[in-house]
Structure 1
Amino acid sequence: MTKSETLTRWDHAHLWHPFTPLADWESEPPLIIERGEGVYLFDIEGRRYLDGVSSLWCNVHGHRHPRLDAALKAQIDRMAHSTLLGVSHPTAIELARKLAELAPEGLTRVFFSDDGATAVEVALKMAFQYWRQKPDPEPKRTRFMALGNAYHGDTLGDVSVGGVDRFHAMFGPLLFPALRAPSPHPYRSESDDCGAASLAEAERLLEAHPGEVAAIVIEPLVQGAAGMIVHPKGYLRGLRELSRRHRVLLIADEVAVGFGRTGTMFACEQEGVSPDFLCLAKGLTGGYLPLAATLTTEDIYKAFRGTATEGKTFYHGHTYGGNPLGAAVALANLEVFDEERTLERLQPKIAHLAGRLEEFRTRPHVGDVRQSGMIAGVELVADKATKESYPWAEQVGARVCRKARERGVLIRPLGDVLVIMPPLSITREQLDELLDVMLTCLREVTEVAS
């Protein structure tokens, strides 16, 4: 039996893959990735694939970047792990300082955890506890507001503020109810000004529940798992102004959109917004190791500051929160942003992507093309005139992605939305390679079939 056959048998016998229809997975040999280099991944047979979704939106400077590799190796020679419960270590301290320097104004305190879901869960729990411990407590503030189609992770608090029925409806009996403002979705909205309509509904909900809402949770600029929904310009700023008017905290979930994805280090920068919580993960370590951070303000930190007997402690933590290996790589990741002028060099690539996306708009079964920086979504529809979606059973988006894989490009759909989110290090030529394959496969699946 070959190595490939053995691993396939073991995979099908033992490994449970996330967000994966299991019967479909077991019906064919798996793609087993063995190594990476730059924007490419290689399977165990040596075949090369362009990583069109940054290994689930987290790789920034490419696979096997020498600066990040060196940082990881240097740290392993010192220490692999030490807890932050009751002790500290240099890389966590240095990374906390660096993030506070980079973050929007006022975000000076950093709480480390493991991944994006935990970063948001931390913010939810901190916001809840804050209102009970601030100098003038407001214990009625127990509710959260989020958007329709929201996705903030898979822990139960995150799922409670989530709004993707296909992912979340099953767990309804376990969840706390959230107030839900409509997602400002320019393509699917019935309103001519969906941003204003969403803000108006958010304000109506806040007025209907005075003094009850602890925080509003938002994915700034782009709702990722909802289908790369790009919000209208000014929406984020409007929501921040609304939260201030009603004395509600704002949690910015930048797990997917942070670290240059939208063209700036943090998406909030583009509308001059400083949230009360900033949740980071994915690109924090350049796609190397699990590490997350929840940033917040001095005002919120002070509400938790007290002795053991005062009962203000935040009883929440993660075994590997602030792991020295992850923190060391994260520091190197941020240094590479400066050394390679990543954000500056990104701007021509963002413009090139925008130009190439115009070719997709002309295709008969492309209903909408959405872009924010180096993030894009191409929504496929059965009928362009009516915006009618394909039946779920047809799995059109998945079929396009399978054909792309046959041509050496790895992309992953969100339903029938094709996601484009390559490493920021991708060259213009590699971006053309990615888009050329996607366009060819899109035509083969949607136009030949029709």
Structure 2
Amino acid sequence: MFEKRLNLTIGAFNFVFSAMFIKENGQTRPALKTLSGLLNTIGRSGNFEINLKTSPDETLGQLSDSGYKTGVLGMLQRQEIDSCFLPLPLDIPNPPGNFSPVIHDDAYHIYSFPWTSTSVTQDVVKSLETINLTLWLTMSAFIFILETINHLVIYLNKNGVNNQCDTIISSLFEALNTVACSVFSQYLPGRSMLRTVQTIAIMLFTITLGVIFSTSTIVGNDEAKINTLEDVISQDKKPLWLEGESVFELFQEGVNTDYTKIYDLGQKKGTASPIPLSSTSIIEQMGHEAVYFCSNEIARVVRKLSESLGSSIAKNEYKSTKPYHRALEAFLMNPAKDAEEIRSRIKKLSIRQIQGDIFIQDLRRIINELLTSSVLGIKPYQLYFSYGKSEMHMINFQPLNFNGCKVVFVSWEIALGVATIVLLVEILSHQLTKPKVHN
């Protein structure tokens, strides 16, 4: 047992939805039973006289060019308090004090809100990508070659060149013309372009009917998941940070290229400042276009708050498969008096009873009481109930419809329009060049 009783001033702040600390007779005391029990244990074990001092601006504090000025961290830098009541990551830039032994290893994930369902249909246009263009160009060229030979045979016959070979060729092409007539329901000699357009039209129509029963043309527009910092950048999301729980300073300092790009993206989107932990504005900014960076412990609080506030977007929350950052956490201390003795006692307490899961379990109980005693009316059972969400999204299938065939039909109409214009030009040319018959 430590002989001398020392004063230990701890910085604190409240939340807009619930109070962790209240003032009575000019003194700040814990409003939660579990928090009071934890502070009493620390005071009794370390022989501390615990004093609580709340931040005037009710924030944790943010790094500026001249260090920490606001919130609890600002008070710590000015040595108005001895310690912060929340553990902080060891790698925050320019910490205003010294850390206690590590009490927790936390992971920081990216939380996004992708669409939960997608409209899946058949895209006929996709099937056209399987067409061998060389094959169809060869077929078109073959049609023109046959037409040229046909004209040559007709020319030879008109000029009296008749032999056995010509007769065989004439019979062959007459049979081909008969086939064409049966296929196209008409015989239009000399109009190869129209025949080509008709061939392509039949091809498109056949493919359209064929892909109706083909699963290879089933496509969807499911939104890609956010799992890495690169995904946030490539999908141009709106980044959101929480004070002290997103390692925002690492983005601000630009520790690598991805952190720098995301911070620049936040500046572009107007969100390049962390949201105070005491605020619920992060819930108002949640949306399909947004992502937020957060530690596991606080993300659980955010999720419960959003559910209790009736935010439907919370049901769509997706947690990145891997953390974007891991950090060891400890209490940050900067005592003005008895500094060495306070650090020594906190170190021993950390090793004996605070270190490991003991403190984290206490912290979770404090958070649970904080939520259930809030003005939001969160029931105890809701703390252990979450929306079940698998990695597979619900998919709504739709049958083949006009939208899937729209491009095909438009192409078909253009082809038929061109063929009609060519036909009219041929008819008009024939009428203009036809010899006049004189009576």
Same fold by TM-score, threshold 0.5 exceeded?
A: no
Greater RCO between the two (CA within 8 Å, min separation 6)?
2
Larger Rg: 2
TM-score range normalised by the length of the shorter chain: under 0.3
State the TM-score, normalizing by the size of structure 1. Answer: 0.22
Larger helix proportion, structure 1 or 2? Answer: 2
State the TM-score, normalizing by the size of structure 2. Answer: 0.23
